[in-house]
């Protein structure tokens, strides 16, 4: 609610609602921003109710039941189908999708809040409710015919969607995709070949990236919409560590008929566009899981006594709890700041195109769009990396606070620790996102933002924190300068993690300072976060100064034992 009450979605919502002109066609559409916000608020209250009272009580059993493959057909755990139906009946299966096909037409930021709530209740349910960017891609790039064919049943919850990209030889590097897309004499498209590790690959609305041209070029890939069924064989459902409610499928496309989505050869570019959305979604999933783990740990710490004292009162445990809470709240600030930029970017893009088509001036909107696009370019990989790594650590610590009990199946935290592990891997690994963010970090993309914030009067209480943030900035720039002097190896990739981390501390630090300025309790969060970020930045600088990474040249001697 802290973030909801401070949303800045006025411009994005106005564009999304076409200047609030939809009521004639869709009577439930809001008449103004105030009404839109009320709709979002009511929807989130309902989502919280469903998540807490319906989905969460089913999640432990879903984890035990998993999904089954029999005679080529996948059956979901009973609880998964029930939870999905509940969300669909409330309209949440079309949260960000257009009114025209039955969707709620909500901004991405509200959708992220939905994902966080649902994932806190059942992390696996996120792969069913939280992949709406598949529908978004169809609606943005597909023809009207394709939209009409696919979207209504997906939005009503009758069909489950799936994003089909990964192949055994094409994981992080999607240019390696080999699934063949070909046309018959009438120009109809078909797919032949394999995909693996596909969440809900047994679904009915598959968005597939396939090779439509010979060779290995990124411009040889196109995007297709495909119905599941006889021509899409589920060969295998993976046995995996967590997310048991979400079947991860190996697929064989047996001359499956498909429809082209968007422009031929532009498939990877279309996918990269929607991946921004997907990265924030996985970050929101991880955040939800971390929040659940935190509450388990906090409650357990308050009832567990050792040495005649509750462990909550013991400093090593208290430090873990405080660090978790601060990490979760700072991550939430990062996520919703990023999501609001995403909304602005997506909607301004539409507006600029619209103004252009009408021959009206669009320069001002274009400038703001460019700024928003740059922010998303930085914040989507940054948030995905920072928040998912945070969540893995939070679940690990939550388990630790439970002692031996944390290792037991009967404890919820054991499941959360398994479920969270995938979040740093899928939708791009942490390493890929560090590299993705590093370009904008090295260019110091947020320079103006930092300078603007430095000039703010944060008040006496926060002055020390502000000074520390400035110190981090100096350390960051020093590290950057040092990184460049090494020539033997590409040091920009070697120290990319440290640089991206420091940049993340700076940006998030300022977000927290701004929050602390308006709410007393947040002063404590900002102080802990910034002090700890400063300590980690000092350590990173020392590592770079001491040439810690020079031994990369010796990988063979060190590792080949
Ligand atoms: C449970 C689950 C569900 C999934 N769901 C889907 C889905 O619905 N749809 C879909 O298309 N895919 C899905 N995936 C696939 C997932 O997106 C990939 O596993 C992921 O992108 C990583 O690819 P990979 O497994 O081939 O690892 P690899 O790409 O082989 O990476 C191995 C290691 O090398 C590192 N690495 C690779 N390249 C670089 C580089 N350039 N620089 C630095 N480090 C690098 C990686 O960070 C990683 O640590 C799913 C996977 C799992 C496990």
Could you read off the pLDDT of 44-85 as tens digits, one per residue? 999 999 999 999 999 999 999 999 999 999 999 999 999 999
Q: Are strands 189-199 and 180-183 parallel, antiparallel or unpaired?
A: antiparallel
For residues 104-108, average pLDDT? 98
CA pair distance 113, 42, nearest whole angstrom? 13
Distance 226 CA to ligand 1 centre (A): 23
Distance 168 CA to ligand 1 centre (A): 10
Which residue shows structure tokens 């809001």? Answer: 30
Task: Establish whether residue 222 lines the binding site of ligand 1, counting it when its CB lies within 6 angstroms of any ligand atom.
Answer: no
- Out of 74, 131, 166, 420, give the residue to mutate to test ligand 1, the one with the largest number of ligand atoms within 8 Å of its CB: 166
Q: How far is CA 420 from the centre of its chain?
A: 13
Q: What's the pLDDT band for 489 if we cut at 50, 70, 90? A: low
For residues 534-538, average pLDDT? 93
Q: Over the chain, what is the mean pLDDT?
A: 95
Helices (H), ranges, 90-143: 108-121, 126-129, 133-141
- pLDDT tens-digit map of 216-230: 888 999 999 999 989
| Cut 0.95: pTM above it | yes
Tell me if 347 sits within 8 A of 11, measured CB to CB: yes
Range from 138-142, 194-198, 345-349, 457-461 carrying the lowest mean pLDDT: 457-461
Residue 488 above 70 pLDDT?
A: no
Range from 213-222, 458-467, 479-488 carrying the lowest mean pLDDT: 479-488
Residue 486 above 60 pLDDT?
A: no
**Predicted pLDDT of residue 323:** 98
- pLDDT tens-digit map of 359-402: 999 999 999 999 999 999 999 999 999 999 999 999 999 999 99
Query: Residues 426-430: contacts with CB within 8 Å, 24+ apart?
Result: 426/197, 426/199, 426/282, 427/275, 427/278, 427/279, 427/281, 427/282, 427/384, 428/172, 428/275, 428/279, 428/381, 428/384, 429/172, 430/384, 430/385, 430/388, 430/389
Longest dimension (CA), the chain: 80
For residues 137-149, average pLDDT? 97
Q: Give which of 445, 447, 287 is closest to 376, Cα–Cα.
A: 445
Task: Establish whether residue 426 lines the binding site of ligand 1, counting it when its CB lies within 6 angstroms of any ligand atom.
Answer: yes
**Predicted pLDDT of residue 547:** 78
Task: Establish whether residue 197 lines the binding site of ligand 1, counting it when its CB lies within 6 angstroms of any ligand atom.
Answer: yes
Residue owning the nearest CA to atom 25 of ligand 1:
171
Distance 171 CA to ligand 1 centre (A): 5
**Predicted pLDDT of residue 402:** 98
Closest atom of ligand 1 to 428 CA is 21
Sign of the dihedral defined by the CA atoms of residues 22, 23, 24, 27, in that order: positive
Closest atom of ligand 1 to 238 CA is 1
Residue 487 above 70 pLDDT?
A: no
- Out of 74, 132, 172, 246, give the residue to mutate to test ligand 1, the one with the largest number of ligand atoms within 8 Å of its CB: 172
**Predicted pLDDT of residue 380:** 97
**Predicted pLDDT of residue 395:** 98
Task: Establish whether residue 175 lines the binding site of ligand 1, counting it when its CB lies within 6 angstroms of any ligand atom.
Answer: no
Instruction: Specify burial of residue 316 (Cβ count, 10 A radius: 0-12, 13-18, 19+).
Output: exposed
For residues 539-550, average pLDDT? 83
Residue owning the nearest CA to atom 50 of ligand 1:
197
**Predicted pLDDT of residue 40:** 98
Tell me if 116 sits within 8 A of 423, measured CB to CB: no
Token pair of 106 as six digits: 């909500």
């Amino acid at each position: 609610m802290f973030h909801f009450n401070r949303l800045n979605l006025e411009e994005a919502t106005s564009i999304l609602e076409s200047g609030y002109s939809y009521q004639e066609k869709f009577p439930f559409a809001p008449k103004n921003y105030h009404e839109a916000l009320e709709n979002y608020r009511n929807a989130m209250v309902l989502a919280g109710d469903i998540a807490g009272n319906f989905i969460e009580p089913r999640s432990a059993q879903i984890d035990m039941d998993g999904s089954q493959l029999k005679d080529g057909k996948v059956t979901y755990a009973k609880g998964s189908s029930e939870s999905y139906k509940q969300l669909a009946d409330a309209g949440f299966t079309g949260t960000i999708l257009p009114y025209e096909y039955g969707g709620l037409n909500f901004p991405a930021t509200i959708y992220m809040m939905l994902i966080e709530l649902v994932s806190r209740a059942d992390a696996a349910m996120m792969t069913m409710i939280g992949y709406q960017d598949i529908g978004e891609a169809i609606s943005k790039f597909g023809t009207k015919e394709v939209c009409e064919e696919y979207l209504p049943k997906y939005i009503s919850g009758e069909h489950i969607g799936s994003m089909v990209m990964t192949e055994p030889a094409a994981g992080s590097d999607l240019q390696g995709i080999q699934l063949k897309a070909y046309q018959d004499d009438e120009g109809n498209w078909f797919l032949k070949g394999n995909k693996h590790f596909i969440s809900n690959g047994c679904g009915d609305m598959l968005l597939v990236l396939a090779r439509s041209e010979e060779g290995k070029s990124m411009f040889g890939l196109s995007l297709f919409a495909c119905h599941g069924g006889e021509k899409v064989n589920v060969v295998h459902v993976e046995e995996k560590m967590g997310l048991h409610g979400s079947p991860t499928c190996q697929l064989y496309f047996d001359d499956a008929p498909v429809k082209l989505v968007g422009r031929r050869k532009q498939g990877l570019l279309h996918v990269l566009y929607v991946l921004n959305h997907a990265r924030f979604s996985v970050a929101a999933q991880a955040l939800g899981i971390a929040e659940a783990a935190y509450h388990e740990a906090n409650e357990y710490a308050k009832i567990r006594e050792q040495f005649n004292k509750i462990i909550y009162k013991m400093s090593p445990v208290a430090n873990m709890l405080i660090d978790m809470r601060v990490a979760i709240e700072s991550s939430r600030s990062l996520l919703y700041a990023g999501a609001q930029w995403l909304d602005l970017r997506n909607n301004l893009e539409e507006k600029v195109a619209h103004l252009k088509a009408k021959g009206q001036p669009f320069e001002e909107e274009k400038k703001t769009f460019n700024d928003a696009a740059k922010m998303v370019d930085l914040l989507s990989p940054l948030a995905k990396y920072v928040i998912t790594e945070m969540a893995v650590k939070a679940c690990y610590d939550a388990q630790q606070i439970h002692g031996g009990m944390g290792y037991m199946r009967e404890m919820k935290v054991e499941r959360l620790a398994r479920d969270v592990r995938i979040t740093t891997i899928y939708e791009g690994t942490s390493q890929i996102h560090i590299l993705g963010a590093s370009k904008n970090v090295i260019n110091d993309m947020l320079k103006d933002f930092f300078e603007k914030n430095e000039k703010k009067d944060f008040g006496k209480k926060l002055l020390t924190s502000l000074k520390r943030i400035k110190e981090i900035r100096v350390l960051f720039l020093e590290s950057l300068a040092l990184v460049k002097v090494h020539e033997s190896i590409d040091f920009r990739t070697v120290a990319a993690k440290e640089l991206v981390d420091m940049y993340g501390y700076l940006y998030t630090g300022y977000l927290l300072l701004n929050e602390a300025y308006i709410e007393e309790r947040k002063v404590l969060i900002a102080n802990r976060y910034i002090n700890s970020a400063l300590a980690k930045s000092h350590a990173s600088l020392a590592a770079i100064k001491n040439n810690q990474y020079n031994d990369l040249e010796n990988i063979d001697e060190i590792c080949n034992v």
